[in-house]
Amino acid sequence: MQPTVYPPLKPYDVGVRGRCPRCGEGHMFEGFLKLRPSCEVCGLDYSYADPADGPAFFAITFACLPSACFAVWLELAFQAPYWVHVFTTFPLMLATLVPPLRPLKGWLVASQYYHKAAEGRLVRVGEAEETAGW
């Protein structure tokens, strides 16, 4: 029996949709941000995936930065009391931070699979010539 060959899928296409980076059909998540142990369609083990704080970093950088700028503008322009910030800035920050977390995590996990990212390892002196490939 021949092993199934999967064509390479673009990380953005499958990751943002939360699909398996190998087959593009199975689900990557079993909760909002919790990864499944493996794909239910092709059996890809997701234990290789470690996006760490990447999704939060991108969400804070690109989504919450405009919200923080809005809060500063609101304060400088109107000297708004704290309750105004609680009812305007806080919901705006939540609305811009939470929704992109899942697509960003999916994209990072799919990118790790696509680029065959793995944990770094030390190369010993004798192995350097064998693995260099120059």
In a domain, residue 127? The reply is no
pLDDT per residue of the chain (134 residues) written in tens, 0 to 9: 778 899 999 999 999 999 999 999 999 999 999 999 999 999 999 999 999 999 999 999 888 888 999 999 999 999 999 999 999 999 999 999 999 999 999 999 999 999 999 887 887 777 655 554 44
pLDDT of residue 34: 96
pLDDT of residue 121: 80
In a domain, residue 6? The reply is no
User: Distance (Å, rounded) from C-alpha 59 to C-alpha 66?
Assistant: 11
Residue 28 is which amino acid? M
In a domain, residue 4? The reply is no
In a domain, residue 90? The reply is yes
Contact 22, 42 (CB under 8 A): yes
In a domain, residue 42? The reply is yes
In a domain, residue 130? The reply is no
Model confidence, pTM = 0.84
